[in-house]
Structure 1
Amino acid sequence: MRQRSLVILTSFITTGALALTACGSRDDDNAGGDDTTTVVIGVDAPLTGANSATGLGIQYGVQIAVDDANKNNLVPGVKFKVKALDDKAVPANGQQNATSLVADKDVLGVVGPLNSGVATSMQQVFAAANLVEISPSNTAPELTQGKNWQTSKARPYKTYFRTATTDALQGGFAADYAYTTLKKRNVYVVDDKQTYGAGLAKLFTAGFKTLGGKVAGTDHVNTGDKDFATLVTKIKNSGADLLYYGGQYDESQILTKQLKDAGANIPLFGGDGMFSDTYITTAGKSATGDLVTSVGVPVTTLPAAKDFIATYKAKKYPGDYGTYGGYSYDAATAIIKAIGNVVKDGKIPDDARAQVVAEVQKSNFDGVSGKVSFDEFGDTTNKQLTVYQVKDGKWDPVKSGTYNPA
């Protein structure tokens, strides 16, 4: 997946725009006389280590979209390639990867990252270069609506978009399900102190309290933690009837097992960062009854996703396609379609990157995950969410719908 292409050696200045001209490279096929332009779609995600199961799902979701575009000659005169970079879920790595992708003149769009915390380190790099970025998984509201999004929404970067809906909806949706459907009244809240996890936990807590629920206690863990004995004792002694966890599956899959082993038979409820088959595999029977919310409706229920799923399985790609694979495919397709509106007969204008940003904003098509279009903040207009529960060793969808904050 790591394709080699021409790279411009340059220094990046965050306060000014990075000017790149003549994007794309010409490929001459001497045997067939075919003269095509190579355009690269960049990918940034954790491809090894923490969160890699979902990160790989992003990488190969994009790969399938690129393969489909090439097979169907979606943009005449253009051959698409993928350049996937591993951020290991570390913001500093994400920033370095963003700079590398900006410097590659063949890159006209980027899909990623997975983590909201990583996104905060990348947005300005892409914005200064007018390079479009579409995340299939970032859910922190401030990425599109600004730091003061709860009182005064303002879009920070016009180059940033996402095909996943935000935690502003996901947190409240989970709180409503916990209180109204599960009839839980006393919740213990834990987060991993990261942008995504802490933000989601905060929004869940606010929603749960508004409905009349009580918080039995709160605590934090560090990413990479494996021993939760002290925390488990606190949760068990608190009398909580539910544990809400803001963070990724890497820690929560261990926490739930240690919690159940200690005799605290209460469900662990989390967000889309937990929605991975790896969670069930690692936690084993302890995962039974645990819940997550995730963006959209189950990809397996969408007719348009049938070919995507079949291809992913046939290629035996690693990672979890069910979490963000479909949203990655649609993010890449939005970029490819935008490029198709900019590139004519394989000729790429000098300001192609800026034109692609403008065309992505106009996106309006039916993707494998549903309708793909963006509002004035760059957020998806698809506000569907789903609650999944572990039953018989798999994630079973138990409720889909939308959430409208009061």
Structure 2
Amino acid sequence: MVILTSVLTTGALTLTACGSRDNGNKSGGSSSGTTLTIGVDAPLSGENSTTGLGIQYGVQIAVDDANKNNWVPGVKFKVKALDDKAQPATGQSNATALVGDASVVGAVGPLNSGVAQSMQQVFNSANMVEISPSNTNPTLTQGKDWQTSKSRPYKTYFRTATTDALQGSFAADYAWNGLKKKKAFIVDDKQTYGAGLAGIFNGAFKKLGGTVAGTDHVNTGDTDFGSLVTKIKASGADMVYYGGQYDESEKITKQLKGAKVNIPLMGGDGMYATTYIQTAGKAAEGDLATSVGVPADTLPAAKSFIDTYKSKGYKGDYGAYGAYSYDAATAIIKAVKAVKDANGGKLPASDQLRSKVVDAVQKSSFDGITGKVSFDQYGDTTNKQLTVYQVKGGKWVAVKTGTFNG
């Protein structure tokens, strides 16, 4: 979860499609007056909504740019954003709703890897492309035996975020070689993303020579971490690694520092949000998080995106995944253009369009606002960049950007 720096906010703007063809043409033929919809699934309320809204508005800006600049002549795009509340069952229902809308040509999301597991089969059965800007669990693209034998489960699923196989190891390397930490206490939230990431950090940290002082689990929604703090304090750990989202980690670090256990808490991209600092306050100082890619505000191509996000007053936080959502939506839009161009300038029949878009996304190769956008044979991004951020002076500051080659 998975997956640049910012400061933004909340309140969902949901745009729904008005139908597949304004001219009443329901099959192939002329694409004059065609309206296609890009679905979005993310937590737009409740837990994780700060980053979920960043995904929604990242897609919205891409769609607005496509329409304004006529990226696909004769075709207009709209956004249909659905709130999964970070719940797998809701995500599955949303996926069913999106594939049931004939105007939807592809979807961006979800935020959470656990939610993605419930959605993949639905999209695959409908031959409709799904691109997540934030899912990082390796099994989603490489199968449950990814560590020994990679096998792609669904050809319709892609992501613009790199995987935890790299992120967890990248974090462990920084903890050992950058922070010079020797003894880590590892905690996770028992969810697909959090437990997977914590497990990879655990293995990588021990391989480097580090000691795991203890492990524990929490539940999403927990607010009292007194017993966990006691365990961490007694363990003698010089750092805590947390696999999960900011909703719990921001409270853990506050209670940890409140008990005079002044050691840094480090986590993954699910923790990289302005809300973490706002809630934890001064207790967040020195804490760390890894996230996908490089900071958006250092990428010249992302400047216009950031300026637009701020000027529109969009809520949520674009920092973690907004730019990756923009590029995910752009990949779908460019795929529609490629399909149209290959069909004599006309969109194919609606029953063929979705599957042809999947094939075109697989062949993607363009310069996005986050860098080169292309996908390997598993549907994973070829962009393996990662960044370690640390809270300094009340802000997330990038302290290391690179790749992990293990």
Instruction: Report the TM-score, using the length of structure 2 for normalisation.
Output: 0.93
Deviations 1:32-61 (A, max 9, x none): xx9510000000000000000000000000
2:95 — aligned with what? 98
Deviations 1:92-143 (A, max 9, x none): 0000000000000000010000000000000000000000000000000000
2:48 — aligned with what? 51
CA RMSD of aligned residues (A): 1.2
Query: Structure 2 CA distance, aligned partners of 1:5 and 1:277?
Result: 32
2:360 — aligned with what? 359
Query: Structure 2 CA distance, aligned partners of 1:312 and 1:346?
Result: 33
1:19 — aligned with what? none
Supply the AA of the counterpart residue of 2:403.
Answer: T
Query: Structure 2 CA distance, aligned partners of 1:330 and 1:5?
Result: 21
Supply the AA of the counterpart residue of 1:251.
Answer: E
Query: Structure 2 CA distance, aligned partners of 1:208 and 1:305?
Result: 34
Structure 2, unmatched stretches of 5+, are 1-12, 25-30
Pairing partner for 1:147 from 144, 148, 168 = 144
Supply the AA of the counterpart residue of 2:21.
Answer: S
1:82 — aligned with what? 79
Query: Structure 2 CA distance, aligned partners of 1:212 and 1:347?
Result: 57
Deviation of residue 27 (structure 1)?
A: 4.5
Query: Structure 1 CA distance, aligned partners of 2:16 and 2:92?
Result: 20
Asked if the contact 2:16–2:79 (Cα under 8 Å) also holds between the matched residues in 1, the reply is no
Asked if the contact 2:294–2:386 (Cα under 8 Å) also holds between the matched residues in 1, the reply is yes
Supply the AA of the counterpart residue of 1:59.
Answer: Q
Deviation of residue 5 (structure 1)?
A: 3.6
Are 2:255 and 1:243 aligned?
A: no
2:297 — aligned with what? 300
Supply the AA of the counterpart residue of 1:3.
Answer: L
Are 2:327 and 1:330 aligned?
A: yes
Deviation of residue 245 (structure 1)?
A: 0.2
Deviation of residue 181 (structure 1)?
A: 1.0
Query: Structure 1 CA distance, aligned partners of 2:372 and 2:16?
Result: 33
2:220 — aligned with what? 223
Deviations 1:275-299 (A, max 9, x none): 0000000000000000000000101
Query: Structure 2 CA distance, aligned partners of 1:167 and 1:282?
Result: 26
Asked if the contact 2:367–2:373 (Cα under 8 Å) also holds between the matched residues in 1, the reply is yes
Asked if the contact 1:78–1:346 (Cα under 8 Å) also holds between the matched residues in 2, the reply is no
Are 2:65 and 1:64 aligned?
A: no
Q: Which residues in structure 2 correspond to 1:4-403 (within 5 Å)?
A: 4-5=16-17, 24-27=20-23, 35-343=32-340, 345=345, 347-349=347-349, 350-403=351-404
Moved more, 120-129 or 342-351: 342-351
Are 2:4 and 1:3 aligned?
A: no
Deviation of residue 2 (structure 1)?
A: 2.8
Deviation of residue 346 (structure 1)?
A: 5.5
Count of residues in Structure 1 that have an aligned counterpart in Structure 2 = 384
Asked if the contact 1:27–1:38 (Cα under 8 Å) also holds between the matched residues in 2, the reply is no
Q: Could you say what secondary structure the match of 1:123 adopts? A: helix
Overall identity of the aligned pairs, in %: 71
Deviation of residue 342 (structure 1)?
A: 1.5
Identify if the C-alpha distance between structure 1 residues 27 and 300 changes in structure 2 by more than 3 Å, giving closer, same or farther.
farther
Instruction: Report the TM-score, using the length of structure 1 for normalisation.
Output: 0.93
Supply the AA of the counterpart residue of 1:231.
Answer: L
Supply the AA of the counterpart residue of 2:14.
Answer: R
- The structure whose RCO (Cα within 8 Å, separation 6+) is larger is 2
